[in-house]
Chains A and B, each alone.
Chain A
């Protein structure tokens, strides 16, 4: 993975003389103290991170945490007071106006919370806007805009006015307008926050689809933990203008570094973040088909369990046997095949826990996790699904 964007110690202070406040901030005065003493607001303080090509990087925080200020630094809608921002290795903070305009035209595109659509233009002309600014001939830009428009499911709406569209539709136009420019980097400032929950979910999946196809570098702002963890490859949590922690969703859940993040994590629905592979354990409690009932019984005894999965020599899952059946088989001198049961559930390792809940309530056996070839990877005991705990 190569790094696409690198943010180095970026600070943004709002007020009449931001540079003079810098020292004060560095000496450790708090945001509120500085506001009371000098009337300057600290938007972002000392933010550093790197974003890889093709990554979806989520910046999460409550309102006022500086996340929108930070994303606006990346296309210099806000000029940072201090620090450097590198895009493809070039420090954009020192860009002249001309270079900045070229950067915005060619590499970046932004999607806004309240869409920021031009209400005096129809849908198609909105999507064309970025191309128009770049001076692309009318015919070509209409063609491109048409193609993008269909890709976000807005066919037939070309000539509608913006205000005739629902919120979800409007944000599709916003997304299409950004994609029409074919930017390397997509900046999304709470794009789905103004939408109602059902539409929001639909748009989230659509974004994931689009991202799977286009592999853009996405910087996504949200205040919703569930959204952050669903969409983000990595998530940065912000509080009071500072980045508290950066990590994958799993890292944040398993190893929250501050109480603030712990509190945040409490809110999330773990079952939607954790996958089967995260909660399964690779058990030694299994028996090979050729071993016979006695070995299976030993395995159950050793692990104090009442059933055991049976695999073949390749560790391919064959079935499950219960302790009652095994004891009977030993008495009657049956083989394991005779008592093999198949009324358990299997799942892929990347299934989310919430998908497993119906299975867990329906079965008395553990859930088997298998790969594409049917090889047993591990088992998930029902309690770890139902309690929602690892």
Chain B
């Protein structure tokens, strides 16, 4: 009597399943192609990062911290990344970084245009907003399942899942940044006969840049958080170390890998924030 009637069972999940299978069956070629492109990009990115001499990476981190903020920041960042090396996790860190960077690049390529479109069309914005909310609230593990179906196991589904998870902030903040441009500034640009493209590139994007940079910072951090989870479908890197440590209840290994992720997060977050601050319109 008080139980929910079983006859009102809506098999929404099944329909999503059917939809994904249908995608796979009909657009398999497209996903294979995407798979190849991303994989190609990823492999070279990873190879390049692992090829870099360790001291050059430490030096770059030091110089960025020093020039963008101060000497102390540079020294601290250099020390943190050096410590990760002493854990024996250098190559793992570079693999993680490769997935993060690839995901961020893809997120920006997709996210910034979507954010711009949302400012042009309020009904598109109204549709996008709940979708973005959903993308961020959905437990991130759920993305792994279609990712595996569409791209099999390995790096590419990890990038795919990471991208979906990391995409919302850059979309939101691009939209917000452009909508925040003062009305009079837009009117002024229009009153001089600017085309839509001129308005966008000469006024709206430069004005929104600080906000967009904040979005990129957030997207990067989200990607870093997701990359750990993505290791469950075979993405090599620091996340994989954590996963192995969980399976073996290996506290030492888990701690080292976890701390490495924290250090990497601190360095990426601070440096991208400093860069974003450089764009602040004073």
Contact = CB atoms under 8 A, between A and B. Distances in A.
Tell me, yes or no, whether A binds B.
Answer: yes
Interface of A: 72, 75, 77, 100-106, 108-110, 112-120, 129-130, 132-134, 161, 163, 177, 181, 187
Contacts of B191: 75, 77, 104, 108-110, 187
Given A77-B187, A163-B282, A116 B192 contact: no
A77 to B, nearest CB: 6
A114 B184 contact: yes
Interface stretch (B43-51, B160-168, B199-207): B199-207
A16 to B, nearest CB: 12
Nearest to B199: A133
A117 B193 contact: no
A162 to B, nearest CB: 9
Contacts of A102: 193
B193 A105 contact: yes
Interface of B: 182, 184-185, 187-195, 198, 202-203, 206-207, 209, 281-282
A133 B187 contact: no
B182 A132 contact: no
Given A101-B195, A113-B184, 4 more contacts: A77-B190, A114-B182, A130-B192, A163-B281
B190 A120 contact: no
Among A72, A114, A163, A181, the one with the most B-chain Cβ atoms within 10 Å of its Cβ is A114
B188 A132 contact: no
Nearest to A119: B281
A114 B198 CA distance: 22
A118 B184 contact: no
A331 B191 CA distance: 78
A103 B194 CA distance: 11
A109 B188 CA distance: 9
A112 B209 CA distance: 24
Contact of B192 (A100, A115, A181): A181
Contact of A119 (B190, B192, B194, B207): B207
A378 B110 CA distance: 79
B282 A110 contact: no
B184 A161 contact: no
9 contacts: A108-B191, A110-B191, A114-B182, A115-B184, A118-B207, A129-B192, A133-B192, A133-B198, A177-B188
A104 B190 CA distance: 8
B281 A116 contact: no
